[in-house]
Amino acid sequence: GAGVSQSPSNKVTEKGKDVELRCDPISGHTALYWYRQSLGQGLEFLIYFQGNSAPDKSGLPSDRFSAERTGGSVSTLTIQRTQQEDSAVYLCASSYRLGGRQPQHFGDGTRLSIL
Amino acid sequence: AQTVTQSQPEMSVQEAETVTLSCTYDTSESDYYLFWYKQPPSRQMILVIRQEAYKQQNATENRFSVNFQKAAKSFSLKISDSQLGDAAMYFCAYLYNNNDMRFGAGTRLTVKP
């Protein structure tokens, strides 16, 4: 595709429900990143993938958060038993490979609202 | 821990004039990358400019340039000949170790016609 695609664009759900957010990176990009942006704040790094592997999961806010990537392409970020503090915009980015010389291309994000 | 500070929550500039957005960061590393990203209301983060810490020359991209002061850990963005389309949130970011990018809280830039 032309860019990073995220779905859904917006998600409203009740507290306690599970949600799954999807990211489809640019074709051929091996690195994929998830960020969270709370209202009026900068981005908080959550997790990155090199291929299908996520070597460091320490950025995930709690054990209710998990992420996976299959086939070196699509990634899903899952939040179980959602809480109101999980409300934020979740942004995904991809790059050709890891490293600062490779610009990260961002999707439009998923706005998650927990009622 | 590496932190990024943007001390200006909001800035405004007259169309066609020049504005400078400030950014400071804290790190003990010597080799890293710095970025400015623009986020319009569409939410998509757009890379404006990038600086590699080992390069002393300031990066420039058309109307956008940076003033990188490594010793002072300062990385300001200058926008020349401001245009209405420059209005957005601007985020300064620091990248070390290839994957963990730290962002500042952002500066909202308003461009007045």
Question: pLDDT tens-digit profile of A52-77?
Answer: 998 888 889 999 999 999 888 999 99
Least confident of A27-31, A97-101, B39-43: A97-101
Task: Show the tokens assigned to B3.
Answer: 């932190």
Distance from the A3 Cα atom to the nearest Cα atom in chain B, whole angstroms: 11
Contacts of B29 (CB under 8 A, 6+ apart): B2, B53, B96
Question: pLDDT tens-digit profile of A75-87?
Answer: 999 999 999 999 9
Which residues in chain B touch residue A100, judged by CB atoms under 8 angstroms apart?
32-33, 50, 52, 95, 98
What's the pLDDT at B47?
Answer: 93
What's the pLDDT at B60?
Answer: 94
Contact B44 A44 (CB under 8 A): no
Contacts of B9 (CB under 8 A, 6+ apart): B105, B106, B107, B108
Distance from the B80 Cα atom to the nearest Cα atom in chain A, whole angstroms: 23
pLDDT band at A97 (very low <50, low <70, confident <90, very high): confident
Question: pLDDT tens-digit profile of B2-34?
Answer: 689 999 999 999 999 999 999 999 998 888 899
